[in-house]
Homo-oligomer: A and B are copies of this chain.
């Protein structure tokens, strides 16, 4: 087999661009006699890869006693079979698996015999969830290292480089989820060094502030020592100093997570892994938490994300893909693209963790095609086939005897409705071998300030920060992005921490702007409009820098007057946007705060404002509730029409193909409720 490689556009195998189509199959759950059958069915459904956890819980049942021989746990035989069937394999040896396993996959002896590894809140209390541990706790690391020393060599020998199937190795699982979802970041002294004169936290503060005086000034505090420089755990910061102190721990936590990830990655390399290392962000909202991790991991590493829409009755926003799901996967895939990876969904729903409500065929078809439409280049169906949980291995909080997920293949090997849909989608992809090399076409840009996305735990509005980082993020998603979709605009997200976007003075840029914005970005934006760039900015100009210190660099560079009225409220007729033109051809529309921050905007208003800034929309769709996305590799084009509502809609669509300025009639289409319709557009441009 060829190794699994990738560049910033797609996966590669030898000289070909390929789409990664993987299915999650747990050798420890699927009955052993069914392994070959399931792998063959995966291949028959268009898959080229299989993914599995390798649970620490099962393979080290007592400390120091390893079990790699129980027939149901014999991953050696399983991986040999993967090679025989001709599937790449992604292995996920932890230390965490989650996977609805007891202790999220950690051995029971670890939690029982080493209770100090459990994560702590700021006040010293344990985080409620018993399996929420402190990643950098020396004891946890020591035990993890021993587990890796046992398991990794057994995986390494199956690598593609050695003639086997293992094409990628996953580090841990949904890093930070165990803290994010259970109420608190980790503040364990032994790991995070909180309260220590010399520890990770004080080292971080020394790097950031150099002196205790500087720190005390920044925090408006009187910390007597580095050990006494404690984080705060305050729901509603009132001052810039409090915002700063909260954000410091947030930044530190993400760095510590990156340190942990890099440590594990180093061990994997040391133990012989030459295949790509991968990791799965727990969901779209967490992608931005991995900035430090990604920086530390460097090359031959790939971050993907998990895109569920419903794992049970109380999970998510509905029983099927909704407009909210669509907006989340859009920004998730765009963020992964920004990081230089082919956007990959390492857990794309293949069922639900709960028996009810069910995941249906039309639902997953809609979800898969929506991910494809928004730029996904690889996916792993979680789960593709299930089986009984090994004795005592089920998480009692979930309580599944059979770990089934209502997957496309039943525990006894029967094909179900979802299988046919999964096969159909894979066939759609294989029939278009140009898809891996295609790019989403865009007619406008949405500025991404990654810090805004990282801010849910520190970024609350206050008198000191009238538009918090998190409010700006909300405005971007629910105001600009979703309104742009309703206007049948085709935004791409622009990573504003890069510089390449500055040169494009044709495609207008929208930016939801917090009170705080990096000094360097304020400077770049000013340069952008002064050199021909077209910018739509809401709801107000920033007044603080990234450290919440006064900074009006952008505002100071603009004319004192707020420009010409340029955008009007459709209801009241009042001006809500003012345009300032610049000598170099640049233009700025400042859309003032005249709406509710988290609210949807008038789509026609937004489209009008962007057209005023020179936007030339590439799609026109007659119904604002049908969203569109256009993929093209220059030769072939595919338009996706997406209906995330339950009502059927009939639409008339036209679009402009890449390189052409004329409209092509894309026809009239009726979309059932909750469906995505791909439209082939290989028409001669007239």
Chain A residues with a Cβ under 8 A of chain B: 313-314, 317-320, 322-324, 354-358, 360-363, 366, 388, 396-399, 401-402, 478, 482-483, 486, 569, 571-572, 595-596, 598-600, 602, 625, 644-648, 672-674
Contact = CB atoms under 8 A, between A and B. Distances in A.
B323 A646 contact: no
Q: Which interface residue of A396, A482, A596 has the most chain B CB atoms within 10 A?
A: A596
Contacts of A401: 569, 571-572
Contacts of A388: 571
A646 B362 contact: yes
Given A356-B486, A356-B600, A398-B596, A320 B646 contact: yes
Nearest to A318: B318
A422 to B, nearest CB: 15
A388 B320 CA distance: 35
Q: Which interface residue of A366, A398, A486, A673 has the most chain B CB atoms within 10 A?
A: A673
Number of copies of this protein chain within its complex: 2
Shortest beta-carbon contacts, A-B, top 10: A318-B318, A360-B647, A356-B600, A401-B571, A399-B596, A646-B674, A320-B646, A362-B647, A355-B600, A673-B673
Contacts of A357: 322-323, 625, 645
A625 B598 CA distance: 35
B646 A319 contact: yes
A364 to B, nearest CB: 10
A324 B316 CA distance: 13
B645 A320 contact: yes
A363 B318 contact: no
A126 to B, nearest CB: 13
Contact of A322 (B319, B396, B599): B319
Contacts of A354: 599-600
Nearest to A128: B236
Q: Say what secondary structure dominates the interface of chain A.
A: loop
Given A320-B646, A323-B357, A599-B354, A571 B402 contact: yes
Contacts of A320: 318, 645-646
A596 B360 contact: no
Given A319-B645, A401-B569, 14 more contacts: A322-B357, A354-B599, A354-B600, A356-B482, A356-B600, A357-B645, A358-B625, A360-B645, A362-B647, A396-B596, A398-B596, A399-B595, A399-B599, A672-B673
Contacts of A398: 596
A482 B319 CA distance: 15
Nearest to A327: B313
A313 B233 CA distance: 29
A430 to B, nearest CB: 25
Nearest to A673: B673
A184 to B, nearest CB: 14
A283 B634 CA distance: 54
A355 B624 CA distance: 12
Q: Which interface residue of A317, A361, A598, A672 has the most chain B CB atoms within 10 A?
A: A317
Nearest to A478: B313
A525 B448 CA distance: 62
A55 to B, nearest CB: 20
Q: Which interface residue of A355, A478, A483 has the most chain B CB atoms within 10 A?
A: A355
Q: Which interface residue of A357, A361, A398, A402 has the most chain B CB atoms within 10 A?
A: A357
Given A571-B388, A647-B361, A322 B318 contact: yes
Contacts of A645: 319-320, 357-358, 360, 363
Contacts of A625: 357-358
Contacts of A572: 401
Contacts of A486: 356
A647 B320 CA distance: 9
A324 B357 CA distance: 9
A361 to B, nearest CB: 6
A369 to B, nearest CB: 14
A322 B360 CA distance: 14
Contacts of A355: 599-600, 602
B323 A313 contact: yes
A360 B646 contact: yes
Contacts of A595: 399
Contacts of A396: 596
Contacts of A646: 319-320, 360, 362-363, 366, 646, 673-674
Contacts of A674: 646, 673
Contacts of A356: 323, 482-483, 486, 600
A308 to B, nearest CB: 15
Contacts of A402: 571
Contacts of A600: 313, 354-356
A220 to B, nearest CB: 23
Nearest to A402: B571
A495 to B, nearest CB: 25
Q: Which interface residue of A317, A319, A648 has the most chain B CB atoms within 10 A?
A: A319
A324 B317 contact: no
Nearest to A649: B360
A320 B313 CA distance: 15
Nearest to A411: B571
A647 B399 contact: no
A314 B673 contact: no
Contacts of A319: 318, 322-323, 644-646
7 contacts: A314-B598, A317-B318, A318-B319, A319-B322, A356-B482, A396-B596, A673-B673
Nearest to A362: B647
A320 B355 CA distance: 21
Nearest to A319: B322
B647 A363 contact: yes
